[in-house]
Amino acid sequence: MSRIESIVQDLMLLTPEGLESAADFVHRLRQIGLEERNALLRQTAGSLSPGEGAELASLIEDGCERVDEHSW
């Protein structure tokens, strides 16, 4: 049984009040993750100059649009 299946089985055994508490907890976990990601984005936003950003975008476009038939 996978971890998610085990969690779902546990949730199915909860009372309505317990299920509400579990839903609130999961929502808080998601919100914390979102806030952490946004904080990291704020910290790194603008860290490249416009020229560096354009160079990086060009490198990504050039390097990612090729297929190496000998690679897996």
| pLDDT tens, position by position, 18-70 | 999 999 999 988 888 888 888 988 888 888 899 998 998 888 888 776 667 77
Cα torsion angle, 15, 18, 19, 20, sign: positive
- Looking at residue 19, its pLDDT comes to 95
Q: Cα dihedral sign for 20, 21, 23, 24? A: positive
How far apart CA 47 and CA 4 sit, in angstroms, is: 38
Contact 34, 26 (CB under 8 A): no
Give me the residue label for tokens 């914390």. Answer: 32
Please state whether the predicted TM-score (pTM) of the whole model is above 0.85.
Answer: no
Give per-residue pLDDT as tens, 3-13.
Answer: 999 999 999 99
Check pLDDT > 70 for residue 72: no
